[in-house]
Amino acid sequence: MAALRRITACFRLLRSSTRVLISSGKPAGKWTNILYTGISSLTVGGALCAIPFKQADNLSRDSLVRRAASLVTDSSSTFLSQTTLALIDAITEYSKTVHTLISLQRRYLEALGRLSQVEEDKIWQVIIAQRSEVEDRQDECKRFESTWFIAVKLCETAAEAARTSGAEHASITVSTNIQVALTQVEEAQKLSKDADKKLIEIKVMEVERMAQHAASLQNDSDEEEVPDAYLRED
CB burial of residue 84 (10 Å; 0-12, 13-18, 19+): buried
Question: pLDDT of 155-167, one tens digit each?
Answer: 999 999 999 999 9
Residue 119 belongs to some domain of the structure: yes
Burial letters 163-189, b for 16+ CB under 10 A, else e: bebebeebbebbbebbeebeeebeebb
Domain interval for residue 87: 63-219
For residue 145, what is the domain's CATH number?
A: 1.20.58.70
Alpha-carbon separation of residue 110 from 105, 107, 118, 202 (angstroms): 9, 5, 17, 12
Residue 221's pLDDT is what? 59
- 140: phi then psi, degrees, rounded to nearest 5: -65, -40
What span, in angstroms and rounded, lies between the C-alpha atoms of 21 and 129?
72
Q: What is the pLDDT along the chain (234 residues), one digit of tens a residue?
A: 444 444 444 445 444 444 434 444 444 444 344 434 443 444 344 444 444 444 455 778 888 998 999 999 999 999 999 999 999 999 999 999 999 999 999 998 888 888 888 988 999 999 999 999 999 999 999 999 999 999 999 999 999 999 999 999 999 999 999 999 999 999 999 999 999 999 999 888 888 887 776 777 666 555 555 455 444 444
Residue 11 belongs to some domain of the structure: no
Residue 18 belongs to some domain of the structure: no
Neighbours of 83 (CB within 10 A): 22
Residue 70 belongs to some domain of the structure: yes
pTM for the whole structure:
0.66
What span, in angstroms and rounded, lies between the C-alpha atoms of 134 and 102?
11
Contact in structure between 184 and 88 (CB atoms under 8 Å): yes
Residue 167 belongs to some domain of the structure: yes
Residue 112's pLDDT is what? 83
Residue 5 belongs to some domain of the structure: no
Residue 56 belongs to some domain of the structure: no
Residue 222's pLDDT is what? 53
Residue 132's pLDDT is what? 96
Q: Into how many domains does the chain fold?
A: 1
Residue 8 belongs to some domain of the structure: no
What span, in angstroms and rounded, lies between the C-alpha atoms of 151 and 144?
10
Question: pLDDT of 76-106, one tens digit each?
Answer: 999 999 999 999 999 999 999 999 999 999 9
Burial letters 45-82, b for 16+ CB under 10 A, else e: eeeebebebeeeeeeeeeebbbbbbbbbbeebbebbee
